[in-house]
Structure 1
Amino acid sequence: MVAALVLLHGLQIAAAEPVVETFDNVCQVAVEVDRTRPVASFRVYVRAGSIYEGEHLGGGITHFLEHTISEGSRSRTLAEIEAELDTLGNTYNAYTTKDHTCYYATTSGDQIGRLIDVISDFVLHPTFPADEVETQRGIIQREMAMVDDEPGRRIADLTYETVFSAHPERYRIIGYPSVFNSITRDDIVKYHSRLYVPDNIVVAVVGDFDGEAVLAQLREIYGSLPRVPPPAVQLEQEPEQITARRRVEDDPRVSRAYMRIGWPTISLFSEDLYALDTLSGYLTGGDSALLVRRLRDELGLVDSIASYSATPAYDAGHFGFAATLDPANLERVEQEIISAIEEIKRTPPPRREIERVLKQVEAGEIFAQETAEGRASTLGANLLLVGDAKFNERYVEGIRQVTPGQVRQVGRKYFAPDRMNVAVLRPPVGEA
C-alpha cells in the first residue's frame, strides 16, 4: 500500500490539475495534461441511456444508435472513418448504459487532435446510412439471441424486472425484440437530434499534449454548437414496495442455479452511499470477507457469492447479492444471506473490517488513475453524473469517515423483509 501511495504521488506531480470549462451552450469539457506517458485518451459522454427512451422504452434505441453512429458522417464515409481510426491505433469503442452513452479511444499524444476531430464528427453529425442501419439491426438481433443464452445476463435482467415494477430502470439496455424490430432509421435520427445536444454532452481528454491547443479545439467543435434545451424527461417513479417479490424461471439450458436478492435503496447523492458500499465490501469484498468465507469456503454452498450497491444518479438504486450454486442449496443460501443481514442489524462489523474495506477502496482508486484512459473515464463520469470533477476524491474521503455504527444503521434502514426481492434462474426441478 505504501508503494502504491508513493506511485500515486509521483503521478500527481507529472499530471497537471484538470481544466474544466462550461461553454455558453452548457456543454462541459475537462482537459488534463499528463506527461507520464506519450499517450492521450478522449471520451465523449452523452446523457442518453435506456431509461430516457420515451415512446421507444424497452426497444433499445439508445444502443441501436450507438451501433450506427459511426457508420458515416456529413464529411466522412464509413470507409474513411474506419481508415482514419485505424491509423490512430484502432482503439475506438463505445458502450451504452441505462443513463448514458460513451464513445472513447486512445492514441499517441501527438495525434490527439485528429482523434478528437474524427470521433466528434460522427458523434455530432452522423448520417445513419439506411443500409448500415439494417446491417446493425441484424447484428443486434443476433446479440439479443446471445443474451438469451447467457445466464449471467438473463439473471441480471430478471433482477431489474423484479426489483422495479414501474421505473424504466427495469428495462434491459439492449431492448426486447417486440419493440426493437419496429424502430426505424427515422426514429434513430429524431432520437439523436433530441438527446445529442450540448446540455447532455461531457467531454474528457487526458494525456501528453498541448492543453491550450486541445481546449481551443474543443471550444471550436463543441462550444460553437447552438444551445438546444434537452427534452424534459419524466421518469415514472417506483411506488413504495410493501410486500416481498419473488421470480423463479426454470431453464433446461442451465446446470447451475443463479440467484439474486435485492432491496431498493438510494441514489448517488445520498449520504448513505458510503456506508452501503462499505457494507458490501465487508460482506463479499475479497476472499476473507464474511459471506465469501462462510458460504463458499467453510460451508461449500456456493460456487461464487458477490454483493453490490447500485446507486445511479437518479432515484432507482438497489443493494444486491449474486450467487451461483447448486440448485439444492438455494433455500439454505437465501437464509444464510438474510441471517448475515440480521446479524449486522444487531451487531456492527468490527473496526478492522471497516479498515480492510477502506484499504481496498484506496487501492482501487490509485490503480484507476494510473492510465490516461482511467483518468479520462473518472473525469468524464464525475462531471456527467455529479457535476464535480473531483467526486472520486470526495468519495474516498466519504468511505474514510464510515463507522461500524453507520453500517449497522443502513442495515436496519434498508433491509426490511417486505422490501426484499428474489430472482432465480435454475434448471427444471429434477434435472440438476
Structure 2
Amino acid sequence: MPELILGPAGTPGTELTVETDAGALVRRSVLPGGIRVLTEAMPGQRSVAIGAWVAVGSRDETDGHHGSTHFLEHLLFKGTPSRDAMAIASAFDGVGGEANAATGKEHTCYFARVLDVDLPMAGEVILDMVTSATLDVEEFAAEREVILEELAMNEDDPGDVAQERFATQVFGAHALGRPIGGTPETIRAVPRDAVNEHYQRTYVPGELVVTAAGSVDHDALCAQVLEAVRAGGWELDADASPAPRREASALAALEGFPTEGSTQIVHRVTEQANVLLGGLGLPAGDDRRFVLAVLNAVLGGSMSSRLFQEIREKRGLAYAVFSFSGGFADAGMFGLYAGCAPGKVEQVVDLLEDQWRVLAAEPIEPDELERGIGQVCGQLVLGLEDTGSRMSRLGRIEISTGELLTVTETLDRVRAVTAGQVRDLAAELRAQPRHLTVVGPFADHEVHGAAQFEKGIVHV
C-alpha cells in the first residue's frame, strides 16, 4: 500500500513516485520552505487541472477573525501588485479556461482547468494570487457587501439553511460547528487588518500544497512553483518542513460537542419542509470509511436504497430523500435528508428513524450488500474520469491523511466490506446523540415529528 506520509509530512527534498491505474503516475516532492507538490500524469489528456491548497479553513480562525478564511477566498481574486481583478479573469477567459476557489472547514483551494500549453500561465496567476494579494482597502469594502449578498442568498435557500443549522447542532460549540462563510454579524464586524493578519499568519510555505492532474510534467511544475513563490516575496528556508497534519484525536477528547440530542425548528415561508436527522460520523481517515460508503449506498444513496424505496416509491412522501456523510481530521457527521410537505414531517421523521434502526439491528441481505458495493465502486471510478477530480483527490489526501491508495486498492477495500460491519457501524452511529433540523412554515408552537427530541427543542 503506497503512502504519501514520509515522516510527519515529509522533509525538504523528499520524493515519491507511485504508478497508479491505466498508466497514470503520481509524483510528490517537498520543496524548500516545506511546499508540497503532487502531480498525476494521465496519458492521453490534453488538459490539466491545477490547485493551490492552503491547509487552513474556517475551523482555524481565532476570535476576532471569524469569516476571514472565506473573505480571503474572495479577496485573492481582486488583485496583486502585478495584475488587477480584470487581468486575472481575462487570463483564464482568453484561453477558454476555468478558474475558481472553494473554502472548507479545514482547507482553502484556488484552482483552474486549462489546456496543457496554458498550465504555466495558470500556475503563475494562481500562485501570484496566493502569495501577493494586495487586500486593497476599497476592494475590501466592496467585497464585504458581495459576501453579505452571498450569505443572504444562502439564507433564502431552505436546504442551505438546514445544512448549516444541522452542522451547528452536531458539532455544537466546537470550531467545526461554525458556518464556513461566516455570519452577517462576523462579516460586518471583521476589519481589514484582522483579515490581513489571518492571511499573513496562514498563507505560508509550510501550509501550501500544489496539485495538478492531466497532461503535466512534474519537474517543470516544481520549478515553476519555486519561481512563482519567490517572485511573490516568500522566503524559502531550505531546511523547513511542511506544517504537520491535523492529529486525529479521539472524539472523547474533543471539547464542545453536544452530549444530548436536540431539535431545531427554523421558520421559513416555504412550500416544503426540509428535514435533517443525524449526528456524529467518522473522521476522514477512519479505516471504516469504506464501510460507511457502503452503508450510505444501502440506506440512502440511490433509487434502490431503503430510504428512497420506503419514503418516495412506496408512500410518495418526498421527491428528494437521501443519506450523506462528511469527514474531517478528528470528527465527522452523518445524516438523513428528506424534503416533504409540512404536514408530513412527523411521518417522514418516523420513517427515517425506522430505516436507520432496522439497518442497525439486522445484517443486510447478500444481494443488497452486493448492490451497495457495486454502486460505490462504480461511482468511485466514474468520479475519477476527469482531471479536476483527480487533482482534488490528491489535495485532499495530502492535507488530511497522507495515504494514497490506487483506485484498484480502494475498490478492494470496498469489496471487502461485510454485512456485519455495515450493521455494527449503523448501530454505532445511531448510538451517538441524534439531532433533528426542520426548516419550514411552522409557527413557534408547532413541532412536527420531534417527540423523541423534546428535551432539546430550539425555535429560530
TM over 0.5: yes
What residue number does 1:193 align with? 200
CA contact (8 A) 2:170 2:257 kept: no
Is 2:236 aligned against 1:225? yes
Is 2:38 aligned against 1:67? no
Report the secondary structure of 1:261's partner residue. Answer: strand
Is 2:297 aligned against 1:297? no
Q: Give the superposed CA RMSD.
A: 2.6
CA contact (8 A) 2:100 2:110 kept: yes
Report the secondary structure of 1:111's partner residue. Answer: helix
TM-superposed deviation, 1:152: 0.7
**Superposition TM-score, scaled by structure 1 size:** 0.89
Picking from 293, 297, 310, the partner of 2:326 is 310
Instruction: After TM superposition, list the pairs within 5 Å mapping 1:24-43 onto structure 2.
Output: 24-43=32-51
**Superposition TM-score, scaled by structure 2 size:** 0.84
Is 2:118 aligned against 1:89? no
> Gapped runs of 5+ residues in structure 1?
1-10
What residue number does 2:161 align with? 154
- Alpha-carbon spacing, 1:93–1:381, altered in 2? closer, same or farther (3 Å): same
TM-superposed deviation, 1:239: 4.7
- Alpha-carbon spacing, 1:237–1:210, altered in 2? closer, same or farther (3 Å): closer
Higher percent of residues as helix: 1
Alignment partners' CA distance in 2, 1:232 and 1:33: 25
Picking from 365, 383, 389, the partner of 1:374 is 389
What residue number does 1:128 align with? 135
What residue number does 1:8 align with? none
CA contact (8 A) 1:197 1:230 kept: no
CA contact (8 A) 2:210 2:395 kept: yes
Instruction: After TM superposition, list the pairs within 5 Å mapping 1:238-253 onto structure 2.
Output: 238-239=255-256, 241-251=258-268, 253=269
Is 2:292 aligned against 1:288? no
TM-superposed deviation, 1:144: 1.4
CA contact (8 A) 1:88 1:115 kept: no
- Alpha-carbon spacing, 1:62–1:242, altered in 2? closer, same or farther (3 Å): closer
CA contact (8 A) 1:382 1:391 kept: no
Picking from 334, 341, 350, the partner of 1:326 is 341
Picking from 106, 112, 116, the partner of 1:105 is 112
What residue number does 1:359 align with? 374
Alignment partners' CA distance in 2, 1:81 and 1:333: 48
CA deviation string 1:261-288 (max 9, x = no partner) = 0121321122232222211110112111
Is 2:61 aligned against 1:53? yes
> Gapped runs of 5+ residues in structure 2?
1-19, 449-460
CA deviation string 1:31-67 (max 9, x = no partner) = 232241321111111112111111146x321111100
Alignment partners' CA distance in 1, 2:292 and 2:46: 39
- Alpha-carbon spacing, 1:346–1:300, altered in 2? closer, same or farther (3 Å): same
Q: After alignment, is 395-404 or 75-84 more displaced?
A: 75-84
TM-superposed deviation, 1:77: 2.8
Report the secondary structure of 1:349's partner residue. Answer: coil
- Alpha-carbon spacing, 1:231–1:70, altered in 2? closer, same or farther (3 Å): farther
Alignment partners' CA distance in 1, 2:68 and 2:328: 20
Matched positions, count: 416
Alignment partners' CA distance in 2, 1:393 and 1:167: 37
What residue number does 2:453 align with? none
Alignment partners' CA distance in 2, 1:70 and 1:344: 47
Report the secondary structure of 2:277's partner residue. Answer: strand
Aligned-residue sequence identity (percent) comes to 27
Report the secondary structure of 2:83's partner residue. Answer: coil
CA contact (8 A) 1:20 1:29 kept: yes
Is 2:192 aligned against 1:181? no
Alignment partners' CA distance in 2, 1:247 and 1:81: 43
TM-superposed deviation, 1:296: 0.5
What residue number does 1:19 align with? 27
